[in-house]
Amino acid sequence: MDLTDFIFKTLISLLVLFTCIPVHECAHALTADKLGDPTPRNQGRITLNPFAHLTLWGSIMLVFVGFGWGKPVSVNPNNFKHPKRDMALTALAGPASNLLLAFLAMIVYKVVLFTVYYSSDVSLSYYLTIVFYLVVVLNISLAVFNFIPIPPLDGAKIFGAVIPERIYFKIMRYEQFIIIAVLILIYTGILNGPLQVIEDGIFNVMDFLTGWVNLLLGKLMK
> For residues 97 and 93, what is the distance between their CA atoms, to the nearest angstrom?
6
Is the pLDDT at 62 greater than 80? The verdict is no
Quote the pLDDT of residue 140: 93
Q: What one-character DSSP code corresponds to residue 65?
A: T
> For residues 206 and 209, what is the distance between their CA atoms, to the nearest angstrom?
5
Q: Residues 25, 165, 175, 199: which is the catalytic one?
A: 25
Is the pLDDT at 95 greater than 60? The verdict is yes
60, 107 contact by CB (below 8 A): no
Question: Per the omega criterion (within 30 degrees of 0), is the bond before 152 cis?
Answer: yes
Please name the residue ranges forming H helices in 119-174: 122-147, 154-160, 165-172
Is the pLDDT at 33 greater than 90? The verdict is yes
Give yes or no: 25 in active site.
Answer: yes
- The model's pTM: 0.86
Is the pLDDT at 176 greater than 80? The verdict is no
Is the pLDDT at 1 greater than 60? The verdict is no
Mean per-residue pLDDT over the chain, rounded:
85
How confident is residue 190, by pLDDT bands cut at 50, 70 and 90? confident
Is the pLDDT at 19 greater than 60? The verdict is yes
